Structure 1
Amino acid sequence: MDHKKLIASALGTVLLIAGSAVAQVAPAASGNTPASTLNQGYLLGPGDVIEVSVLGQAEFTTRQPVQADGTVTLQYIHAVKASGLSVLQFRDQVARLLKQGGFYNDPVVIVGVAQYASRYVTVLGEFGTPGILPVDRPYRVSEIIARAGGVRATAGDTVIVRRSNGDELSLSISAVASGGPLEDPYVSPDDKLFIATAANFYVSGQVGAPGVYKLEKNMTYRMALARAGGVTDRGSMGKVSVYRNGKKVKVDLDAPVAADDSIFIGERFF
């Protein structure tokens, strides 16, 4: 399913994810993934695990982590710089060193990433599965939301993107799901994405469906009552009381509802 359709569906039907809201680390790419399917433009960094082989040379096949100093230890050529290089650049460097050392003539080197660990974004709050997501290529915000399991029923309609340089974007999730590149920008490694819990309001008394409801942008008291099933035959629009922070307040029914407002509909006099 297209990732934008997934998010739009999550907003419409609201995706409920069972389990703890505690951040979970997303699984890394499978070590069995063929090298040909991996992103060759990915920039390597400490913690990544790479597979290196030479075509037709079974003895030169290995899986090694990128060390804290940014190097990878390989047969014959020992410590080779990897951090900051793309997979393609590292491949070409290994081929050059093997040829210069006289180990192989024109070796065909194959490099793949078995585990992505050095480049990731963090998703927090009301995502379906909060945690850490590896980024092996450029991803848009909508793709990250889809990879993180959509949004929960309790999610607000805004996703905050905090860049590693301190810049911050506030994006409408609805616009991200249906908009273009401006509404759905790319994330960068080390970005943090946060979705806050939606504000609620409460409706009780003579309405069709008393309960707790998610507060939507620009929702008026009339709209809130309609959301709660409308006023019953026993209720009266003249008996609307609104309580805010424990105190009764006077409101216009066409005014916007405030977060945590409690709306009570009393009975009409017959």
Structure 2
Amino acid sequence: MVSLFKRWIAACLMAVAVTTVMPAAAQTPVAPPASATASDPARNTVERERYILGRGDVVEVSVIGRPEYLARVQIQEDGTILLPFINNVPAAGRSVLELRNQVRGELVKGQYFADPAVNVTVVSFASRYVTVLGQVRQPGVVPIDRSYRVSEIIARAGGVASDTIDTITLTRPDGKSVDLSLRRIATAGPEGDPMVADGDKVYVAPAKVFYINGQVNKPGTYPIVQGMTVQMALSYGGGLTAIGSSKRVKITRGSTELARVKPTEIVQPDDVIVVGERFF
């Protein structure tokens, strides 16, 4: 009896210790792992479920736990897919989630499965795309399976062909276009990096250049950066020679010649800057 009583006391003490320690530990918040707080994977999953299917897309339809029901099919010109048991099913113009629910409903309606867990995966995206042209490493058609920003589309096209490139033109299907600065996209927030949509065209223009010669240490052709002044252009040209004069700078702009330009003059594409000699 004494040993049983001692065991009962020890068990009670252990229970008290556990109930004392556990709440304190439970009150200490544990930071979730970085992957749990990242919103992009979850956002991408939701967007893929909302992806609007179109002609040419390839989807895989299966019933979880029933390996005999598996079909990889392409959406035909009439917008339908051919599936086992239920034959032609309209797919074009519907989201992945809508198609999944529709297939499930048809399988239950036909009494093929009592409560099927249907899965629909887009294997190949062919109906929605953005056309990327110009100075990128891999110009062409870029399929889109979710919402992408201009910077992401440029990256999927292999990136720009030269570090001197800055101007990007985004043209919508209705013909409206907007010029974007690659440098601004790289440094600004989301407002400087717009979303693209199906049918958009992204054109990466060649680098805009100016020409400088005369009394500079490094005459030649140089890219124009946004807001470039004559003073900045002189720096690109290696600065003035020993006999060069910043007061004897002229610019040929098309058929017009600008004499004795100020250092604050904004350089335009294809400007020819000539630095003259100073008087002693």
- Count of aligned pairs between the two proteins: 235
Choose from 113, 119, 133 the match for 1:110. Answer: 119
Question: Which residue type is aligned with residue 178 of structure 1?
Answer: T
Within 2, Cα distance between the matches of 1:243 and 1:167?
33
Choose from 245, 257, 270 the match for 2:267. Answer: 257
Question: Which residue type is aligned with residue 55 of structure 2?
Answer: P
The one-character-per-residue Cα deviations of 1:167-205 (angstroms, maximum 9, x if unpaired) are: 333333223222233222221111112222232111223
Residues 176 and 109 (structure 1), Cα distance of their counterparts in 2 relative to 1, 3 Å cut = same
The one-character-per-residue Cα deviations of 1:184-239 (angstroms, maximum 9, x if unpaired) are: 22211111122222321112233222211011222222210111111122434355
Q: Is the 8 A contact 2:248 2:260 kept in 1?
A: no
- Percent of pairs with identical residues: 46
Question: Which residue type is aligned with residue 259 of structure 1?
Answer: P
Q: Give the match's secondary structure for 1:161.
A: strand
Instruction: Give the structure-1-normalised TM-score.
Output: 0.77
Structure 1 residue runs of 5 or longer lacking an equivalent are: 1-35
Question: Which residue type is aligned with residue 147 of structure 2?
Answer: P
Within 2, Cα distance between the matches of 1:260 and 1:96?
64
Question: Which residue type is aligned with residue 116 of structure 1?
Answer: F
Choose from 187, 193, 199 the match for 1:184. Answer: 193
Q: Which has the higher contact order (CA 8 A, sep 6+)?
A: 1
The one-character-per-residue Cα deviations of 1:117-157 (angstroms, maximum 9, x if unpaired) are: 00111112223422211111111222222222332327653
Q: Give the match's secondary structure for 1:40.
A: helix
The CA RMSD measured in Å over matched residues stands at 2.5
Residue 101 in structure 1 maps to residue 110 in structure 2? yes
Within 1, Cα distance between the matches of 2:133 and 2:177?
15
Structure 2 residue runs of 5 or longer lacking an equivalent are: 1-44
Q: Give the match's secondary structure for 2:275.
A: strand
1:198 aligned partner: 207
Residues 64 and 123 (structure 1), Cα distance of their counterparts in 2 relative to 1, 3 Å cut = same
Residues 47 and 195 (structure 1), Cα distance of their counterparts in 2 relative to 1, 3 Å cut = same
Computing the radius of gyration from Cα coordinates, the structure with the larger value is 2
Residues 38 and 185 (structure 1), Cα distance of their counterparts in 2 relative to 1, 3 Å cut = closer
Instruction: Give the structure-2-normalised TM-score.
Output: 0.75
Aligned-residue offset at 1:158: 3.1
